[in-house]
A and B are shown apart, each in its own frame.
Chain A
Amino acid sequence: MLEVKSISKRYSKRHVLDNFSMTAERGEIVGLVGENGAGKSTLLKILASLSKPDKGELCLNGKTYKKHFKEHRRTIGYVPQDIAVWEDLTVLENMKFFARLSPVKKSVSELKDLLDNIQLGRYGTKVNKLSGGMKRKLNLAISLINEPEFLLLDEPTAGIDLKSRIEIGQFLKNLAVNKETLIIYTSHDMNEIKDVCDRVIVIGKDSFYRDLLADYIK
């Protein structure tokens, strides 16, 4: 279970997050929506332990981030907004690279299975030869190597075709159901959020936050 208790974050004089709280259970898919600069990516980085809140506390499975951030990082999967892969390597080489350094061991056949599940079969193709949609899938697949309990996705479908978007959405739904992964997902596309997520948290400027059921939006 994730608990976020009254966290605040400011850059220079500007409050990006102010007194924000939320909870989420394993198996849930939570969407984060809001305008540009509202603080979605900042919140995601704080949840991924890549940035510290100025105030407030975060707990994952009852353990605070402050004391256990290194332990938490082993159970977190983070899909950054930028495509965080090595462009000069092939799809499978990228998977092998991060699998070797990951806390969870994976064989080559397991890595291929993972790629197949996400419908990315071009193992031997160099990343710089892939389409935007394929790169996004690889970006997601690498984040799943360590079998995360908690998956954070920062606009994982930005700039890709509808087919790839639907495939990624379906894959995430299966992941939440089958592996009970807690997924937090940001996007600008409300239709996509409604299709994929169970709950939606609206992050507005001036500390406006709303926690809604996705069905309610429909």
Chain B
Amino acid sequence: MMDMIYARWLLLKRQLPKILLWSMLPLILTLAVTMLFNSTSDDFRVPAAVVVNEQSAEAETFTEELASSKFMNVEVFDAENRAAAIRRLEQYSFDSVFILPENFDEKIQTGQRRNVIETYYTDRSIYYEPAKELAAAIIQERMGEYAAVNYVLELQNNMLFETAVSAEDIASERQRIENETNLVEQSFYFFGETENEEQTTNLNPWMVWAYIALAVTIFTFDFVTRETVSSARIRFNFMKHSYKQFMILTFIIITAVMLIIDIITYMLINEMLAADIDLLSLVLYRFIINGAAFLLASLMKSPMKLYQSAVALTFFLLALQLAMTIIVSVTGMPVIIKLHPVEMLIENQLNIPWVILLIILTLIWVWRGNNAGS
């Protein structure tokens, strides 16, 4: 055993910096890609302007509500700067401009739905429709509140005069109920769906890591291809250890080193990106990609073919995952998800079928070697 480890060390020592760099690459790229993508997603806001022709409570409420939206970046202009806001819209600095009229407060309180807001947009205003919907929802909510208050006051005047409450009391009670039930933030689920509290547009760092790790691992195993096709391999027939034994030991050593790096990755991604994952799923994923990379590298005739296979396999699995919803709905077989190693990893599932398959393939590879010779 020590002889084989020493021999392996002789062969790999000059490639060690390269292998370590390759092994760290998934962590580095995952942190970079995830932080870049997620910060870009967070920073993106639809630029819009609100021109306020009257300084009223309702005008202020409207602009605050609009500005508090996660996808709007609102700039407020007074009546005198209306032309400046329109000019910037024409220069495509704004996606749309909302102009609140002088009697905006009155219109809201009395429920005048016609021409409440004047809006402007351009042929490049791709977010105009959702922005308009949001503005309409705010106005609807405010008008609804006044309608409810007026209705309750009317009821009180006609029927319950002795239990007098003010309009402010009604409005604050409505606000309290809204806050408690938090209807705006509630998610609704259809029958059969499960809750996923972290469902956001943010990239899952473990998905990013899984694909980069897959490609990089296959690239790292290029030395297996080089050694397998080397003329020097023939000499193992006259050694006390077979080439297959030597390579199995290599696989174990490389996998152990990569697992150590994976555990560091696990801790750093957990800490820096607050993305947790089941550690055992991660360990099994490492075994699967290393096993696949090792067998692939053993079969290839040149490193270039191995690199091409790595890229092709990575993109194939990514495409498969993106199309998974369609595939499952077409085939009606949700079990297909369990065939995808990356899907299994990010779902914190133990990918036993792939581990068994790779063990069988490795045994076949060893058995074929042992049956050679006279």
Q: B230 to nearest A CB, angstroms?
A: 7
Among A76, A84, A102, the residue within 8 A (CB) of B232 is: A84
- Among residues 134 to 156 in chain A, which have CB atoms less than 8 Å away from a CB atom of chain B? 142-143, 146
* Residues of the A chain whose Cβ atoms lie less than 8 Å from the Cβ of B4: 100-101
- Among residues 331 to 367 in chain B, which have CB atoms less than 8 Å away from a CB atom of chain A? none
User: Are the C-beta atoms of A86 and B230 separated by less than 8 Å?
Assistant: yes
Q: Check A101/B10 contact, CB under 8 A, given A49-B373, A49-B374, A142-B235.
A: no
Of the listed stretches A65-73, A157-165, A210-218, name the one at the interface; the rest are far from the partner chain: A65-73
Complex Cα distance A46/B373, Å? 9
Q: A17 to nearest B CB, angstroms?
A: 14
Complex Cα distance A85/B240, Å? 18
Among A46, A65, A80, A101, the residue within 8 A (CB) of B240 is: A101
User: Are the C-beta atoms of A80 and B231 separated by less than 8 Å?
Assistant: yes
Q: Cβ of A37 < 8 Å from any Cβ of B?
A: no
Interface residues of A (CB under 8 A from B): 46, 48-52, 65-66, 69-70, 73-74, 76-78, 80, 82-86, 88-89, 93, 96-98, 100-103, 142-143, 146
* Residues of the A chain whose Cβ atoms lie less than 8 Å from the Cβ of B62: none
Q: Which 3 A-B residue pairs are closest in the complex by CB-CB distance?
A: A82-B231, A101-B239, A49-B374
Complex Cα distance A76/B236, Å? 12
- Chain B interface helix/strand/loop/mixed: helix
Q: Cβ of B146 < 8 Å from any Cβ of A?
A: no
Most chain-A CB neighbours within 10 Å: which of B10, B235, B246, B374? Answer: B374
Q: Cβ of B7 < 8 Å from any Cβ of A?
A: yes
Q: Check A73/B237 contact, CB under 8 A, given A80-B231, A100-B3, A100-B6.
A: yes
User: Are the C-beta atoms of B11 and A86 separated by less than 8 Å?
Assistant: yes
Interface string of B195-239 (1 = CB under 8 A from A): 000000000000000000000000000000000001111111111
Residue of B nearest to A64 (CB): B374
Complex Cα distance A84/B374, Å? 21
Complex Cα distance A78/B231, Å? 12
User: Are the C-beta atoms of A84 and B235 separated by less than 8 Å?
Assistant: yes
User: Are the C-beta atoms of A101 and B246 separated by less than 8 Å?
Assistant: yes
Residue of A nearest to B240 (CB): A103
User: Are the C-beta atoms of A88 and B14 separated by less than 8 Å?
Assistant: yes
- Among residues 1 to 32 in chain B, which have CB atoms less than 8 Å away from a CB atom of chain A? 3-4, 6-7, 10-11, 14
Complex Cα distance A1/B7, Å? 34
Among B7, B232, B236, the residue within 8 A (CB) of A100 is: B7
Complex Cα distance A96/B230, Å? 18
User: Are the C-beta atoms of A84 and B231 separated by less than 8 Å?
Assistant: yes
User: Are the C-beta atoms of B374 and A66 separated by less than 8 Å?
Assistant: yes
Q: List 17 A-B contacts (CB under 8 A).
A: A48-B237, A49-B237, A49-B374, A50-B374, A52-B373, A69-B373, A74-B238, A76-B238, A78-B237, A82-B231, A84-B233, A85-B231, A86-B230, A96-B10, A100-B3, A101-B7, A101-B239
Residue of B nearest to A78 (CB): B238
Q: B239 to nearest A CB, angstroms?
A: 4
* Residues of the B chain whose Cβ atoms lie less than 8 Å from the Cβ of A97: 7, 10-11
User: Are the C-beta atoms of B230 and A101 separated by less than 8 Å?
Assistant: no
User: Are the C-beta atoms of B231 and A77 separated by less than 8 Å?
Assistant: no
Q: A136 to nearest B CB, angstroms?
A: 13
* Residues of the B chain whose Cβ atoms lie less than 8 Å from the Cβ of A69: 373-374
